[in-house]
Chain A
Amino acid sequence: MKHIGLIILAWLIPNLAGQDIYVCKNAVITLYSKAPIEDIDARTDRGTSVFNATTGELAFSVPIRSFKFDKALMQEHFNENYLESDKYPQAVFKGKITGTTDLSKDGSYSISVTGVLDVHGVKQTRTIPGKITVTGGTVSMAAEFMVACKDHNIEIPTLVFHNIAESIRIQVSANYSPYKATP
Chain B
Amino acid sequence: MKPSLLIIALCLSGTMLKAQTTKTDTGNTDALLKSLSTPDKAEPVIATFKATRLILSQTTETVKKKELNFLVIHRFGDIGGGGGGGKTLWGLDNSSDIYIGFEYGISDNFNIDFGRSKYEQLLELGLKYNFLHQTVDDSSPVAITGLVKTGFKPYHVNTAVFDNYGDRFSYLLEAIIARKFSPALSLQIAPSYILNNSPFPFIAGNEKRFFSLAAAGRLKFSKRMGIVVDYVHPFSSFRNNSIDPKFYNGLGVGIEIETGGHVFTINFSNTQYISEFNYLNDTESSWGKGQFRLGFTISRIFDFNKKHKNY
CB within 8 Å of B: which residues of A? 3-4, 6-7, 10-11, 13-15, 17-18, 20-21, 23, 25, 30, 39, 41, 43, 46, 48-50, 52, 54-55, 57, 59, 61, 63, 65, 70-73, 76-77, 79-81, 84, 86-87, 94, 155, 157, 159-160, 163, 179, 181
- In the complex, what residue of chain B is closest to A72 when comparing beta carbons? B64
- In the complex, what residue of chain A is closest to B310 when comparing beta carbons? A41
Say whether B21 contacts A14, CB under 8 Å. Answer: yes
Say whether A61 contacts B37, CB under 8 Å. Answer: yes
Instruction: Give the chain B neighbours of A52 by CB distance below 8 A.
Output: 24, 26, 29
Cβ < 8 Å to A, chain B residues 41-69: 43, 46-47, 64-65, 67
- Nearest-Cβ distance from residue B49 to partner chain A, whole angstroms: 11
- Whether A72 touches B20, Cβ cut-off 8 Å, given contacts A50-B33, A57-B29, A80-B47, is no
Choose among A7, A15, A81 the residue that contacts B6 (Cβ–Cβ < 8 A): A7
- What is the size category of the interface that chain B forms with chain A? 35 or more
CB within 8 Å of A: which residues of B? 3, 6-7, 9-10, 13-14, 16-17, 20-21, 23-24, 26, 29-30, 32-34, 36-37, 39, 43, 46-47, 64-65, 67, 108, 183, 223-224, 258-261, 301, 303, 305-309, 311
Q: How far is the CA of A155 from the CA of B13 in the complex (A)?
A: 55
Q: Tell me whether chain B's interface is mostly helix, strand or loop, or mixed.
A: mixed
Say whether A10 contacts B10, CB under 8 Å. Answer: yes
Instruction: Give the chain B neighbours of A72 by CB distance below 8 A.
Output: 64-65, 67, 108, 303, 305
- Nearest-Cβ distance from residue B126 to partner chain A, whole angstroms: 20
Instruction: Give the chain A neighbours of B39 by CB distance below 8 A.
Output: 63
Say whether B6 contacts A4, CB under 8 Å. Answer: yes
Say whether A73 contacts B303, CB under 8 Å. Answer: yes
- In the complex, what residue of chain A is closest to B63 when comparing beta carbons? A72
Q: How far is the CA of A159 from the CA of B224 in the complex (A)?
A: 11
Choose among A10, A63, A87 the residue that contacts B37 (Cβ–Cβ < 8 A): A63
Say whether A70 contacts B305, CB under 8 Å. Answer: yes
- In the complex, what residue of chain A is closest to B31 when comparing beta carbons? A50
Instruction: Give the chain B neighbours of A25 by CB distance below 8 A.
Output: 36-37
Sample of 7 A–B contacts (CB below 8 Å): A7-B13, A10-B10, A41-B308, A41-B311, A73-B67, A76-B46, A81-B224
- In the complex, what residue of chain A is closest to B262 when comparing beta carbons? A159
Say whether B46 contacts A80, CB under 8 Å. Answer: yes
- Nearest-Cβ distance from residue B43 to partner chain A, whole angstroms: 6
Say whether B20 contacts A18, CB under 8 Å. Answer: yes
Q: How far is the CA of A71 from the CA of B261 in the complex (A)?
A: 11
- Nearest-Cβ distance from residue A35 to partner chain B, whole angstroms: 12
Q: How far is the CA of A179 from the CA of B35 in the complex (A)?
A: 12
Instruction: Give the chain A neighbours of B10 by CB distance below 8 A.
Output: 3, 6-7, 10
Say whether A70 contacts B309, CB under 8 Å. Answer: yes
Instruction: Give the chain A neighbours of B3 by CB distance below 8 A.
Output: 3
Instruction: Give the chain B neighbours of A17 by CB distance below 8 A.
Output: 20-21, 24
- Nearest-Cβ distance from residue A173 to partner chain B, whole angstroms: 10
- In the complex, what residue of chain A is closest to B183 when comparing beta carbons? A86
Nearest 3 CB-CB pairings of A with B: A14-B20, A72-B64, A160-B260
- Whether A73 touches B64, Cβ cut-off 8 Å, given contacts A7-B13, A181-B20, is yes
Say whether B183 contacts A87, CB under 8 Å. Answer: yes
Choose among B7, B32, B301, B308 the residue that contacts A50 (Cβ–Cβ < 8 A): B32
Instruction: Give the chain A neighbours of B223 by CB distance below 8 A.
Output: 80-81, 155
Instruction: Give the chain A neighbours of B260 by CB distance below 8 A.
Output: 77, 157, 159-160, 163
Say whether B17 contacts A70, CB under 8 Å. Answer: no
Instruction: Give the chain A neighbours of B9 by CB distance below 8 A.
Output: 7
- In the complex, what residue of chain A is closest to B306 when comparing beta carbons? A70
- Whether A3 touches B6, Cβ cut-off 8 Å, given contacts A17-B24, A76-B47, is yes
Instruction: Give the chain B neighbours of A160 by CB distance below 8 A.
Output: 259-261
Instruction: Give the chain A neighbours of B29 by CB distance below 8 A.
Output: 50, 52, 57, 59, 94
